[in-house]
Homo-oligomer: A and B are copies of this chain.
Amino acid sequence: MRRDIFQAIADPTRRAIIALIAVQAMTPNAIAEHFDSTRQAVSKHLKILTECELIKQEHQGREIYYQLEIEKMKEIDKWLEQFRQIWESRFQQLDQLLATIQKK
């Protein structure tokens, strides 16, 4: 059972859930109302997201509020870092090229 962030955000429904609870913590029922699938299906997604620590629970009576662990999202950002260096250097190269053209 592979369970990492990249696999977690691969599913569009899960990405939608993440975006939803990023705004404010919500219960499974409230989340499920935004989708066509059943609450149980949403619950499964929440379980996966919880397992890779992208979200956390907050019990309040019999209700459970799910909240985004924004810190964990930074791990994706961290992975992107290596490529950001490339696209920034490409941009710099283009910049230098444009400067050279202007000089002529």
Contacts and interface: CB of A to CB of B under 8 A. Distances in A.
Interface in A51-83: 68, 70-71, 73-74, 76-77, 79-80, 82-83
Given A6-B10, A7-B10, A10-B6, A77 B84 contact: yes
A87 B87 CA distance: 23
A6 B19 CA distance: 15
Interface in A11-65: 12, 15, 19, 22
Interface residues of A, number: 25
Contacts of A90: 70
Contacts of A10: 6-7, 9-10
Given A6-B9, A70-B90, A76 B82 contact: no
A83 B75 CA distance: 12
A86 interface: yes
9 contacts: A4-B12, A15-B79, A22-B83, A68-B86, A70-B83, A70-B86, A71-B87, A76-B80, A80-B80
